[in-house]
Chains A and B, each alone.
Chain A
């Protein structure tokens, strides 16, 4: 009974046999993925070494990469990307786990709650961005209404290029140096929207993980006199590690690639693609702009490859740091 928790997943590398049938198992997936997901990657790499119109490329070697790495636009959009990820990822994952855990309790109306929590992810971004542009509307939006209850002056949210700390300090007539202004309020507003939208997704994933946990362990622990916090800390969290690991890896990838949320919010708020004064110009937005506004296919592909490498490095790091624990 108590062996449940420490039963190791059979470490495959201790088994010497090569199971050739494994290739049959992965074959269908790799046919599809190979043709439609891996081939385009090689194509993107190929294009990233070229310049010119879409069907008149000429080879330029690593010039696009040099242009990106030596210019300031790439680095500033990369910084925006990380700030955005930093503002959205931890909050989303924490709220996702928190609410999934609450929904996992035997509460009345659990099915209804679960459905409600999932709603944000169901609505297409086109629809929800319109509603959120209303929430953030400087003139009469809900966000400002809530702030006014707390005695705070109305803010301009999605159309505010000034840093969030600067904006808040201005409420008290303080001025703070430009380096301490923080990310633009517009980026903060987009992040709030993103947290709202992705939370439902994380809730669903964590719930799936939680519902797979063996229930009788709790029984045993409770008999041993464990309280709710201990149960969570010593039983749920360790057992949930594979799911948490999955959510973290997938969220890091999705967050660094975020495009739809930013694009939709800026469109709904009648801003340019990069937001007010390009303060929501993440790396994917920058890449999209190069692709569609400038028609720089080679340069845009180089940006995509660089972004992919960064994400890949972070993912491998995740496997190193978290994967060991999750997959021991």
Chain B
């Protein structure tokens, strides 16, 4: 998905460059809160990890394989700010050193792949974790959904940029259908791998997973046969910054999630009807196909496959979107209410 030079026109490239610079500036500040003065080495090593893990090939079927994009993974493992920062640095280095993605398109690349992916993934993840029961399995499930939605969201962001500043007038319906359709397939692969990876880390070192910090239990002492909360010995090294989200933040997260989902689904639905006749478009826009999961469709029988894919993925997007919106919507209310009633009861249903 690395956009080359000349793909998006100059004004939009400049505008996204400003957006990217602002987001990186905000993330630098936020990452200092997430990691304090350990930011440089830790974020650097995590960026190196993202860079390396993008080279890890996951075989799909005979001869084809996909790899991880890593935005959702970074957001959930090390937090949204550090995640944006790490992915941005990876993109910057790929642009300058490996000529992968144009220098003038750096803003577009960072906006789509670092910012949108990470922010959408983390917002969805937070909302789901609030709603689901506090357990390791729900962390994995939330990771799956977050990663699944983050990839088509990035594709959609790219489509919007293309609609405003594309250098070729391909109809936006075509671009959206092909981009989102293909990226939902990619998203399924990404989601599976991300969920498995986060699950593996949670099983071994749950304290390292930023998204699972709510899961940590207070130390309890058995005093005369009764469990008593131990007094906090010292402020924990990774003092939770975003962990105790206020109710207002919770509301905002839920609202943002449902807005993103609603916009995403409705946009997709409106562009779906003419997806059938635009087989060529599907074939044309899936630049990612070469290096990703969609590589299993040979050119010869693209037609049939892509029509079914478009339908299937359209339906899938609808179901997932509506379902998650509904769940998130009702869940926010329930979580708020539950929080109000069970303010002081110490959680006991964790399995870590």
Mutual binders A and B: no
B residues whose Cβ falls under 8 Å from a Cβ of A:
none
